Structure 1
Amino acid sequence: MSVEINGKVPDFSASCTGGADFKLSAHAGKNLVIYFYPKDNTPGCTTEGENFRDLHPEFVKAECAVFGVSRDSLKSHENFKAKLEMPFELISDPDEKVCVIFDVMKMKNMYGKQVRGVERSTFVINKKGVLVQEWRGLKVPGHAQAVLDFVRTIGD
Structure 2
Amino acid sequence: MASTTRARKTAAKVVAEETPAEATAPESRAAEADSAPAAPEAAPLEPPRVDAAPEPPAPSPYVTPTEVIPDEENLADVILDDATGQPPANLDEVFVPLTPFGSTLQCTVRLVERTFLGPHRNPVTRLLQPKGAVVSEGIAARIRERLIAQAARTDNQ
TM > 0.5: no
**Structure that is richer in helix per residue:** 2
User: What TM-score, normalized to structure 1?
Assistant: 0.22
TM-score by length of 2: 0.22
More RCO (CA 8 Å, sep 6+)? 1
> Greater share of strand residues, 1 or 2?
1
